A and B are shown apart, each in its own frame.
Chain A
Amino acid sequence: MRFAQAAGGRTRFRYALERRGVLAALLISPAVLFIGVLVGVPLVLAVYLSFTDATAGSLTGKWLGFDNFSNALHDQVFREALWHTFLFTVISQAIVIVVAGLLAHALVRSFRGRWLIRFVILLPWAAPIALTAIGFLWFYDPQASIFTWILEHVHLASKDNPPNWLGTPRAAMSSIITVQAWRTVPFATVIFLAGVSSIPQEVDDAAAMDGATGLRKFWHVSLPLQLPIALVAVLFGIVFTATDMVVPYILTNGGPFNSTQVLTTWAFQTGINAGNIGEGAAIALFMLPLLAVVVVGMLFFARRAEVT
C-alpha cells in the first residue's frame, strides 16, 4: 500500500483497475450513458410533448394537461386503431405459435434436406421486412395478383369477382395479418427449436421408461420444460408486432377508410404527416401499458428459465 501511494496517481489508477467493482463500473458506464441519452431522454421528451400542443418544427408548446389523451380517446379513428392493433397482434401471433410449434418439432429431428428447409424457412426473417412488404404489395396487386391466379386455378376464386386483397376493409386486415405472421414465424421457430433441443435426452428416456408417450409426454414433460424459452419468443413477437409499423405502413398505410389503422401508423400520420407532434406522442404513449405488461411477463419467465 505504501508503495502504491508513493508511486503516485498512475499506479494507483492501475491498482484501482484490478478491483472488480471499479473495473466493472468503468466498463459498463459508457453503455449506460449511451442508452440513457438515446432512450431515456427521448422517452421523457415523448411524455412531456404529449402534454403540450407542440407542432412540427418545435420541441415546446403550450401546456395542455391531459387534453391530447382525452381527445385521442374520444376520436373514433384512434379507438378503432387500438382495436386493430389488438387484432393484428393477437391473430398474427396465434398463427405464429401454432406454425412455429409444429415446425420446431419437425426440425429437431435430423433428416435429409434439413439444411435446405431451414434455409428457406429463415428467408422471411433475414430479408429486410420493409423490402419484402413491397414484394407483397405486388403479390396483392388488384390486376395481377399471383395469389388470385393460384386460387382461380384451384377454383377457389372466380375470374368475375377476384379477391381485392388490400381494397376492402376485411380483406386488407387479413392480408396484413398474414404478412406479419409470415415474417415472425422464422424467429419464433428457431427459439422454440432451441427450447425443444434443450431438453436433455435423459429426461426423454425417463419419461419413456415411466410409460409416457405421444401427447401425454408432450403435455406433462416436453411442454413445461420448453415453455419458459418459448414464452420469451412469444412475448418478443407480441412487442415487435404491436409496436412496429412497417407492414401496415407499406401495404395499406392505414386504409382503406382507416380499416387497418394501428396505433403506430396513426401516431406517424398525426405526428409527422399532420405535424401535431404533441398529439402523435400521446397516441404512441398508449403503447407503454402493453410494454409494461410484457416486461413483467419477461422478468417472470426469465427467472423461471434460470431455475430449470
Chain B
Amino acid sequence: MSAALRHKLFPYAIAVPFAVVLGFPFLWMAITSLKPEYQVYDPTKVWHFHPTLASYGFLLHHTDYLRWVRNSCLVGLAVVVITLVVAMPAGYALARLAGRVGRTLGVAIFLTYLVPPTLLFLPLSRVVAQYLHLSDRLWSLIVVYPSFTIPFAIWLLMGFFKTIPQELEDAALIDGCSRIGALVRIVFPISLPGILTVVIFTFSLVVNEFVYAITFISSSSNRTVPVGVPTDLIRGDLYNWPGIMAAILIPSIPLALVYNAFLNRFIAGFTGGAFR
C-alpha cells in the first residue's frame, strides 16, 4: 500500500470502528422502539419483525410522557432566562473590566461548577422542603439549577466576550455611549452566536439533570423526562421496552442535532474562558 493511500485511509480506519461502537446503542434503540411489544424477547425476531409505531402512540397517548417533556421545557426555559440575566453581565465584567482580580474570580466561579450535586443534594433537599416549601414543585428545580448553570455560562461567555475587539466599544464610548449603553447596544448583539450557544448548552444541562430532580420531586405529574422515564414507565416489574426506547430517542435526536450545529462555538468558548 502506498504511503499516500495509507495517509488517506488512516482517519477512516480509526474513526469508523469507534463511531460504530459509540453509535450502535442508538441504532439498537431505534430498532427496538419499532418492534411490537410481544416480539422483543423473541430470539428469532432480532432483525426480522414487523415494524410498528404502536409504542410511540402508547407513549404519547397513554403515559405522562408529554407532561414530563413539557415540565423539562418549562424548567429549561426558566433556568435559561435566569442564567442569562445573571451570567451575561458577570461574564462581560470578568472578561473586560475587572483585570487581574477578574481572572482569579473567574476561575473561582468556574471551580464552583465542579462542586457536584451529589455533595449538595442532602442539605438542599431539606432547605427546599423546610425553608422554601417547594417540595414536589417544579419551582424547586428552577431555583436550584442556576447553581450549576450560572458558573458554566459565565465561563463560556467570558471566552466569547474576550474575542470581541476592544476598539468597537471604544468607538461607541467616544460617540457618547455610556459603558452600559455600549454593552447593551454593541457587545451583546455581536455576541449573539455565543449567547445562543450558552442557551443551548444550559438547556441541555437542565434536561440532563437527574440527582436533584429525583430527590425533590415525588409525584409523577411533576417529573422531568430523565426521572419520569426510569421511575414511571416501568409498571411493577414490567418494562415496556419499545416504549422506553422511543422515550429515549425523542429528546436525544434533536439535542444531538443542535449540539452538532453549535459544537465549534462551544469549544471556542470552553477552551477560551480562562486559557487565553
Contacts and interface: CB of A to CB of B under 8 A. Distances in A.
Interface of A: 14, 17-18, 20-21, 23-24, 27-28, 30-32, 34-35, 38-39, 41-43, 45-46, 49, 58-59, 99, 102-103, 105-107, 109, 111, 114, 117-139, 143-144, 146, 149, 182, 185-186, 190-191, 193-195, 198, 228-229, 232, 239-240, 243-246, 249-250, 263-264, 267-268, 271-272, 277, 280-281, 284-285, 287-288, 291, 294-295, 298-299, 302, 305-306
Interface stretch (B49-57, B87-95, B190-198): B87-95
B118 A287 contact: yes
Contacts of B60: none
A126 B180 contact: no
- A17, A106, A126, A294 interface centre (most CB from chain B within 10 Å): A126
B10 A182 contact: no
Given A35-B112, A45-B127, A244-B116, 20 more contacts: A17-B179, A35-B109, A39-B112, A42-B120, A42-B127, A114-B11, A121-B18, A122-B260, A126-B255, A126-B259, A130-B230, A131-B225, A135-B29, A146-B28, A194-B267, A232-B275, A249-B210, A267-B118, A268-B118, A295-B111
Contact of A250 (B23, B97, B230, B266): B230
Contacts of A106: 10-15
Interface of B: 8, 10-16, 18-19, 21-23, 25-26, 28-29, 32, 40-41, 43, 46, 85-87, 89-90, 92-94, 97-98, 102, 105, 107, 109, 111-112, 114-116, 118-127, 130, 143-144, 146-147, 150-151, 154, 178-180, 204, 207-208, 210-211, 215, 225-227, 229-230, 239, 241, 244-245, 247-248, 251-252, 255-256, 258-260, 263, 266-267, 270-271, 274-276
A120 B115 contact: no
B248 A135 contact: yes
B200 to A, nearest CB: 10
Contacts of A243: 116, 118-119
- A contacts with B: majority SS: helix
Sorted from nearest, which 3 A-B pairs have the closest CB atoms?
Answer: A130-B226, A127-B252, A243-B116
B115 A43 contact: yes
B90 A130 contact: no
B25 A136 contact: yes
Chain B interface mostly helix, strand, loop or mixed? Answer: helix
Contact of B116 (A99, A144, A287): A287
A57 to B, nearest CB: 8
11 contacts: A21-B98, A27-B93, A46-B120, A114-B11, A126-B204, A130-B229, A131-B229, A146-B46, A239-B114, A244-B116, A295-B111
A135 B115 contact: no
A306 B109 contact: no
B128 to A, nearest CB: 10
Contacts of A264: 116, 118
Nearest to B239: A138
B96 to A, nearest CB: 8
Contact of B41 (A120, A144, A306): A144
Nearest to A240: B116
A133 B121 CA distance: 21
Contacts of B118: 243-245, 263-264, 267-268, 284, 287
A27 B89 contact: yes
Contact of B12 (A46, A111, A271): A111
Contacts of A121: 15, 18-19, 22-23
Contacts of B227: 130
Contacts of B154: 31
A193 B263 CA distance: 12
Contacts of A144: 40-41, 43
B41 A117 contact: no
Contact of A124 (B10, B22, B143): B22
A191 B272 CA distance: 12
A35 B92 contact: no
A135 B130 CA distance: 36
Contact of A128 (B119, B151, B225, B263): B225
